[in-house]
Amino acid sequence: MKPVHVFNVIPSLPPALEGLRQLAYNLRWAWNHDTIELFRRLDSDLWESTGHNPVLMLGTIDQAQLEAAAKDESFLAQLDRLVKEMASYLSAESTWYRRTYAQTNGLLVAYFSAEFGLTECLNIFAGGLGVLAGDHLKSASNLGVPLVGVGLLYQQGYFRQYLNAAGWQQESYEDNDFQTLPVTRERRADGSAVTVEVAYPGRSVTAQVWRAQVGRISLFLLDSNLPANRPEDRVITDQLYGGDLEMRLKQEILLGIGGYRALEALGLEPTVYHMNEGHSAFLGLERVHRLKEKHGLSFHEAWEEASAGLIFTGHTPVPAGHDYFPASLMDRYFGDYIDRLGIGRGDFLALGRQNPANDAEQFCMTVLALRMAASRNGVSKLHGEVSRKMWKSIWPGVPEDEVPIGHVTNGVHFRSWISLEMNQLYDRYLGPKWREEHADAKVWQRVGGIPAEELWRTHERRRVRLVAFARHHLRLQLEHRGAPQSEIDAAGEALDPDALTIGFARRFATYKRATLLLRDIERLGRILNHAERPVQILFAGKAHPRDDAGKELIQRIVGLAQQKEFRRRLVFLEDYDMGVARYLVQGSDIWLNTPLRPLEASGTSGMKALANGAINLSTLDGWWDEAWRAAASENQFIGWAIGRGERYDNAEYQDQVESAALYDLLEHDIVPAFYDRGADGVPRRWIANMKGSISHLCPLFNMQRVVKQYAADSYVTAHERYQRLTAEKSARAKALAAWISRIRANWAQVRVERIAALAATELAVGSQIQVRAWIRLGAIPTDEVAVELYLGRLDSGGEITGGVAIPMQPAGQSPEGFCIFEAAAVPCTRSGLHGYTVRVLPFHPDEAKTFLPGLITWADAK
């Protein structure tokens, strides 16, 4: 039954409590313990039952409770203090960004992501990618970085997980009620809703714009569920990662193109666009299209101008994790759009292909993003290496270690994840500076001064709360599953608040190997059920709805947990979300991670755990690989590594070896250290390990360090580059595009004609070599190329490995008209068999990309 009139009911707050509305609609509360405690104080049970949603809570609470709070002088004093604190925070002039980049004018970064994990009540995220995006916005807010977020407001978001009687994962979807979420509809001055239109085959789709305020940062979210749209278009923003391939394309068109237009409609003009994964890569094409229109440019001129301000961060080293669309689908959705871009169909499809000439290759969003962006990075050192290997064919002729994909290792927003008790402990012993300067190593060195007993008691309280939460959660899920009453009653005895507690919580993809610890059930049983040194494990995580192999892993764990031998020692917690995650990372003693190297791009759950005092136990993959190796080189304990990064061709053998190593670590190192207690019952050796982990890792693996790194290495640089190219009616962008066109037309003439060979075949360490090369440049001037000596050790196949590029300088012309370049006094610093060659690259002061695909000439090896 359709209504004849629609109206919205909003909370009725006494005037004295109006400040609660301000606090509720700014997601700063999600990382401010004092504000959360204020809402808990209003009604603790309601805070829990509303899913930690203050907007829903204020609309649900009994009016009498509000009236009572309005007369409570203590409550009003706390409310007044928090409202003033937030106002001071929002209006602060002396932020890190303003102090550091006072001379940088006009920078605005638009951060695009398909998902944002800000808090559990705003269900528009699936996992680590979204939580990372949410943490990025929170840290940008704290640092004062001029940034806005852009995403989609999903009607149902990601699924809720529950298990049937057989332990098989089931999915349910619940509608998000936008009216009771901490989001507001964007409106124009006349009160009308801000909307954008995006062309789809045979029609336009309209999306309205919502705002979630994240401290100082605005996150704009698009919603297609409007009566003006067709039924099949209203559900474009229905489910995150739901539907078929065509639905994915529809979502990514709306995110990239619609998101770009939303910022235009809001009057915002970002100079830098940051694509968090390839889902939003179409924004680059829309930017080209708009710059063409605005500045009167050709496609290639607009491409260079757009590229200057584009940054791309990739997140997955698994080929299946990237979006590919067949040419027929791209034709259907982009036929008219290609005409507006001013290029041909073949040139358009080539933008998304590793090999532009391969008509059989599908259009890949990651390839489009890599080709367009002037700056590209993975999310850990190892992931950067893997990404260079994966995508090297985009830059033919470029050595793998020079493929222009760097890395910015992930971090986490500590204030969102550290428990209230640990916050208070850090306040006392690290001082208030720790809240604002997460990346300051000197601050974290003070962890050594925390009394062992106090740190241990603080951590023990969180373990006790984790056990209480797990028992309650387990009881509810057993009741929902229809389990026997005896099994439900036994949930109250599950786990031991004093036992060594291992946490494992993440997406249940097979490469994460959640069951590596279960390969030897008898040995595991002996470890868990030791009479004097018991161990317990809590598992949580969701498998993708179409990943039956991942669901089988969950089913196996649940089946084992139901056996009498493991019922008190092993628990699987359903419906893993940010709320469950907090209990786990705050209460676990060990954080277990077992991915198959090198398939974990980074991983961040272990970073959240370490800041709460848990110690990491992981295979050497993602962030843990660089953290552990760096600490080992300094002889610094930070946690345990399962293996040393070995890789075997036989996956079964790999699992066997690493599971045995895991059991050995538990039996011989971890369990004995945990239960090595003094007369006071305090495990001082374990606490020393906790302190070493916190003090060494927290300054490095936090989101403040990440955002500062992006600001310094990408945002400000990209902004200045874009400003240069757009100045004086885009004169430099036009000149750069013309230069690239001329270089491409003449590059076939470039050739290394000859190189002066060394007279000696043996040189002592410390000797210097001088190399001359004769280069044919044809119509290309000398100052438009970079000639480099490429020198390095030889591997067993006679190939240069780990080569170093050394600039060669012009040294005149030969009688034949060749340009002579030389590298003089190059020292030999290491012994062994070395080799060198010479290469030629295009050079232009305004070209940000280190390598232009296809434009590199090497000397022919004789």
Q: What are phi and psi of 508, to 5 degrees?
A: -90, 65
Among 23, 76, 106, 44, residue whose Cα is nearest residue 272: 106
- Three-class SS state of 559: helix
What is the pLDDT at residue 1? 57
The answer to whether the beta carbons of residues 675 and 532 sit under 8 Å apart is yes
Task: State residue 196's pLDDT score.
Answer: 98
> Rounded to two decimals, what is the model's pTM?
0.95
The encoded tokens of residue 220 equal 């704009």
The span from the CA of 835 to the CA of 635, in Å, is 35
Mind giving me the DSSP string for 379-419? SSHHHHHHHHHHHGGGSTTS-GGGSS-EE----B-HHHHS-
Query: DSSP characters for 323-354?
Result: -EE-HHHHHHHHHHHHHHHTS-HHHHHHTT-S
Q: Where are the alpha helices (DSSP H) in 96-148?
A: 96-100, 128-143
Which of 838, 799, 802, 801 has the alpha carbon at shortest distance from 818? 838
Please, how many CA atoms are within 13 Å of residue 630, restricted to the half-sphere of its CB? 12
Quickly count: other Cβ atoms within 10 Å of residue 752's Cβ: 20
Q: Is the pLDDT of residue 237 over 60?
A: yes
pLDDT surpassing 60 at residue 724: yes
Report whether 585 contacts 503 (CB < 8 A): yes
Say what the pLDDT of residue 486 is. 87
Q: What type of residue sits at position 168?
A: W
| Residue pLDDT, tens place only, 671-703 | 999 999 989 999 999 999 999 999 999 999 999
Residue that is written with structure tokens 């044919």 in the block: 776
C-alpha span between 837 and 860 (Å, rounded)? 9
pLDDT for 46-99, tens place per residue? 999 999 999 999 999 999 999 999 999 999 999 999 999 999 999 998 999 999
Question: What is the rounded distance in angstroms from the CA atom of residue 826 to the CA atom of residue 440?
Answer: 39
Would you say 658 and 619 are in contact if contact means Cβ atoms under 8 Å apart?
A: yes
Burial class (CB in 10 A: 0-12, 13-18, 19+), 199: middle
481 CB-near residues (< 8 Å, 6+ apart): 162, 163, 164, 165
Residues 264 and 290: beta-carbon distance below 8 Å: yes
In this predicted structure, the answer to whether residue 736 has a pLDDT above a threshold of 80 is: yes
Average pLDDT over residues 157-171: 93
pLDDT exceeds cutoff 90 at 850 = no
Query: What pLDDT does 3 receive?
Result: 61
Q: With 70 as the cut, is the pLDDT of residue 5 above it?
A: no
Q: Is 537 helix (H, G, I), strand (E, B) or coil?
A: strand
- Cα three-residue angle 238-244-249, rounded to 5 degrees: 75
DSSP string, 428-463: HHH-THHHH-TT-HHHHHGGGGS-HHHHHHHHHHHH
pLDDT score, position 862: 63
| Cα–Cα distance for residue pair 715/747, rounded to 1 Å | 32
Mean pLDDT of 518-525: 96
How many residues are there in the chain?
862
In tens, the pLDDT along 746-777 reads: 999 999 999 986 666 777 887 788 899 999 99
Looking at residue 114, its pLDDT comes to 97
The CA distance from 387 to 381, in Å, is 10
- Kindly report, residue by residue over 596-647, the tens digit of the pLDDT: 999 999 999 999 999 999 999 999 999 999 999 999 999 999 999 999 999 9
Tokens representing residue 152 in the block: 């989609």
Element spanning 768, H or E:
strand 768-776
pLDDT, position 567: 92
pLDDT digits (tens, 9 = 90+) for 179-206: 999 999 999 999 999 999 999 999 999 9
What's CA 207's distance to the chain center, in Å? 26
45 C-beta neighbours (distance < 10 Å), count: 8
- Tens digits of per-residue pLDDT, 805-849? 999 999 999 999 999 999 987 888 788 888 889 999 999 999 988
**Mean pLDDT over all residues of the chain?**
94
Q: State how far the Cα of 269 lies from the Cα of 556, in Å rounded to an integer.
A: 52
Q: Which tens digit of pLDDT belongs to each residue from 553-609?
A: 999 999 999 999 999 999 999 999 999 999 999 999 999 999 999 999 999 999 999
What pLDDT sits at residue 759? 62
In this predicted model, what pLDDT tens digit does every residue of 273-289 receive, in sequence order?
A: 999 999 999 999 999 99
Label residue 861 by pLDDT band (50, 70, 90). Answer: confident
- Write the pLDDT tens digit of every residue in 648-662: 999 999 999 999 999
Instruction: Say whether pLDDT at 462 is over 80.
Output: yes
Summarised one tens digit per residue, pLDDT across range 388-411 is 999 999 999 999 999 999 999 999
Segment 241-269, tens digit of pLDDT:
988 999 999 999 999 999 999 999 999 99
SS3 503: strand
User: The tokens of 78 are what?
Assistant: 């706390």
pLDDT at 9: 55
pLDDT band of residue 8 (cuts 50, 70, 90) is low
pLDDT of 437 > 90? The answer is no
**Alpha-helix residue ranges (DSSP H) falling in 578-667:** 578-587, 605-611, 622-633, 651-665
Residue 2 has pLDDT above 60, yes or no: no
Pairwise CA distance, residues 373 & 532, whole Å: 58
pLDDT of residue 113: 98
